[in-house]
Amino acid sequence: MSQELALPMLFPIAGAQAGAQEARPGRVDDFDDVRACQRGDREAFDRLVERYQRAVYRLCYRYVNRHEDANDLAQETFLKAYRAIDRFRGDSAFSTWIYRIAVNCCLNFRSARRPETTALSDSLSDASPRADAEVEREDEASRVRAAVARLPERQRATLILKVYQELTHEEVAGILGSSVGTVKANLFHALKNLRKLLESEP
């Protein structure tokens, strides 16, 4: 994490830490907004979207490694959340609930379409000239993102939720509907497979 913080800001990087902080807003606010939304308050839902948009978009991006698809998936996630908001009873945190919807959207997306591991759109990046070290760092990040996107479904989802969303084992297990032991096993294999993938494509 410290490596991210040390990066110069020529090419802005959405760090996992920042994403995780945005993804963990106050539960009291979430609860109040969810209740208001269930009473028909559209602005309350807008506040939830604003609070979670970055976390949901980044989760989706990590999964599909493509801005256009991540954008579609993020919208789909919020739409499904809105349609189902009346059924949210607060048994889990709203963040857990919305991540579960996002992961399901990603899993369905992957089953319907071929994996995309293409390079990022240039339009997303900072157009200013970048130092060689910065270019090299971004190339390496791009290579890792592509490798993550090639992991098996469950391993990828587990890794993204654990490492980038910084959730606990129990939270990840709750989202994926699996046991904590399975989460740990998937994490182990995800990191091991990632190493193989990165070593095979220097």
**Binding interface with other proteins (CB under 8 A):** 1, 3-4, 7, 11-16, 42, 45-46, 49-50, 53-54, 57-58, 61-62, 67, 71, 74-75, 78-79, 82-83, 120, 123-125, 138, 140-142, 144-145, 148, 159, 162-163, 168-169, 181, 184-185, 187-189, 191-192, 194-195, 198
Taking the complex as a whole, the smallest distance from the CB of residue 86 to other proteins amounts, in Å, to 11
Nearest CB to other proteins, comparing residues 103 and 160: 160
Residues 6+ apart with CB under 8 A from 48: 30, 33, 34, 37, 81, 94, 98
Taking the complex as a whole, the smallest distance from the CB of residue 180 to other proteins amounts, in Å, to 9
DSSP reduced 3-state for 30: helix
Nearest CB to other proteins, comparing residues 103 and 146: 146
Nearest CB to other proteins, comparing residues 84 and 91: 84
Residue 186 and residue 158 in contact, taking contact as beta carbons nearer than 8 Å: yes
Taking the complex as a whole, the smallest distance from the CB of residue 194 to other proteins amounts, in Å, to 5
Residue 92 and residue 172 in contact, taking contact as beta carbons nearer than 8 Å: no
Cα–Cα distance between 171 and 95 in angstroms, integer? 10
Residue 169 and residue 162 in contact, taking contact as beta carbons nearer than 8 Å: yes
Nearest CB to other proteins, comparing residues 78 and 97: 78
Taking the complex as a whole, the smallest distance from the CB of residue 79 to other proteins amounts, in Å, to 5
Cα–Cα distance between 14 and 146 in angstroms, integer? 16
